[in-house]
Amino acid sequence: VNNRLRNKDGRPRQPQTILDIADDLHLSKTTISRAISGKGRIGAETRERVLSYIKDNEYKPNLIAKSLAVSKTFNIGVSLPTDAEMNEIPFFQTCLHSITETANTRGYDVVLTATTGQNIERLQYLVQNKKVDGIIITRLHSEDKAVAFLRGTGMPFVVIGTSADTTIAQVDSDHYLGCRELTARLLDSGCRHMALMAGDPDHKVNKDRYEGFAAACGGLATGAVLWKMTDAASIDRAMLGLMRERPECIVCMDDVICGMVLSWLHRKQLRVPTDIGVASFHDSAALAAHDPPITALRIDVPELGATAMRVLSDALDGKAIQPRTRLGYEIAIRDSSRLNI
C-alpha cells in the first residue's frame, strides 16, 4: 500500500498527475501517457494495469497541460448576435444547442462570443490569444467583419449562412430557393398583391430572402417591400400606410416580425385570412400554434448547427470538406394564406 495515495488522515487521495500514477505503479510518465492515449507501443498488460488503476483512483487528466503540449484547445468559438431583438428569436438558441451537442460528441467544448452589430473584439481575442481551435459564425453580414478578420488569421471557421465566395466554408438552408418557391405558391393560390415585411438589409440572410421573393414576383413594385421592420414601432407606423394599398397577403421575413404583424392586425380587428393573408419566411412553434396556423418556410435548425459543427470538426481533423452545404427546406401551407375559405 503506497502512501502517496493517502492523505495524512488516511483517506484515499486522487492522483493529480500522471507522475503520481507513474510513481505508484513504478512506471514512467510516458507509459502512463501512452496507456491513456492508446498511441505508441505499450504492452497490453501494462496498459490494462494503468487503465484500471486510473479507473479505481478517478484520475482526470489536466486538459490545460495537454492543450499546451499539443497546441490544441479542444474549444470552438461560436459567435452569436446580441442585438436586442435577437433574444426573442429561438433560432440562435436552438442552433447553439445543436452545435454544443455535436461539439461535445467530437470532444470539443463551446466558448461563446457575443457579437453586437459588427463589433468583433472578443472574437479577435479568442482567436489571437489561442483560446479556440476554430470558429462558427451564426449570422452573416453583407460585408462581414468577422469573416474578413478570420480570413487573415488562418483559423478554421465555418459560417451558417450563404456567401457567394465559395472559398469560405458555409452551411445554410437555401433561402433564395425556399422564399422563391413559397412566394410562387402564394401567387399561384391567387394572392395577387403581396407585401414583404423585411428585416435588416445588412443581414445577408434577409437579402437572400428578398432575392427569392423578388424573383418569384417578377416585376414587383419595390414599394411593397418594407425594410427594417425590426421593432413594433416601425411596424405600427408602416402597417397603416401599407393597408391603404390593400395587399392581399403580407409575407414576413421572420417569425418575430410575423408575430408583431399578427398582433397589429388583431388590434385592428382584421381577420386572417378572411381580410388578409399572412405567411412567414421562417417558422417557429408559435407560428404553427397560432390560430389560424401560419403558412411558413420550415428549416431544420438543429441539423443546420450540427452540420456546421461537423464540417468544422472535419476541417480541424485535416479532412477534406465540402465548402458549401445546402440544407433543404419544407413549405408548410397553412390556413393563414388560404384566402378563399
Which residues sit at the interface with DNA, rule CB under 7 A?
16-19, 26-31, 33-34, 36-37, 39-43, 45-47, 61-62, 65-66, 68-71
Segment 85 to 124, residues that bind a copy of itself, using CB under 8 A: 87-88, 90, 92-94, 96-97, 100-101, 104, 109-114, 122
Dist. CA 272–CA 278, nearest whole Å: 7
Question: 34 vs 207, which CB is nearer to DNA?
Answer: 34
3-class state of residue 247 by DSSP: coil
285 touching a copy of itself, by CB under 8 A: yes
274 touching a copy of itself, by CB under 8 A: no
Contact between 162 and 204 under an 8 Å Cβ cutoff? The reply is yes
Dist. CA 206–CA 106, nearest whole Å: 32
Question: 232 vs 339, which CB is nearer to a copy of itself?
Answer: 232
Question: Which of a copy of itself, DNA, none sits in contact with 145, Cβ below 5 to 8 A by type?
Answer: none
Residue 188, all three cell numbers:
399561384
Contacting residue, 17, 46, 57, 82, with a copy of itself by CB under 8 A = 82
Question: 17 vs 94, which CB is nearer to DNA?
Answer: 17
Dist. CA 185–CA 309, nearest whole Å: 33
Question: 60 vs 246, which CB is nearer to a copy of itself?
Answer: 60
Dist. CA 328–CA 140, nearest whole Å: 19
Cis peptide before 90 (omega within 30 of 0): no
CB of 121 to a copy of itself, least distance (A): 9
Segment 118 to 157, residues that bind a copy of itself, using CB under 8 A: 122, 126, 128-131
Q: What angle do CA 62, 67, 73 make, to 5 degrees?
A: 115
Cis peptide before 201 (omega within 30 of 0): no
Residue 252, all three cell numbers:
414576413
Dist. CA 269–CA 199, nearest whole Å: 25
CB of 178 to a copy of itself, least distance (A): 21
Phi-psi region of 319 (alpha: psi -120 to 50; beta: other; left: phi over 0): beta
CB of 18 to a copy of itself, least distance (A): 13
Dist. CA 59–CA 82, nearest whole Å: 39
Site for a copy of itself (CB under 8 A): how many residues? 47
Amino acid in position 227:
W
Question: Which of DNA, a copy of itself, none sits in contact with 148, Cβ below 5 to 8 A by type?
Answer: none
Site residues for a copy of itself per CB under 8 A: 60-65, 67-68, 73, 75, 80, 82, 87-88, 90, 92-94, 96-97, 100-101, 104, 109-114, 122, 126, 128-131, 232, 259-260, 263, 266-267, 284-286, 289-291
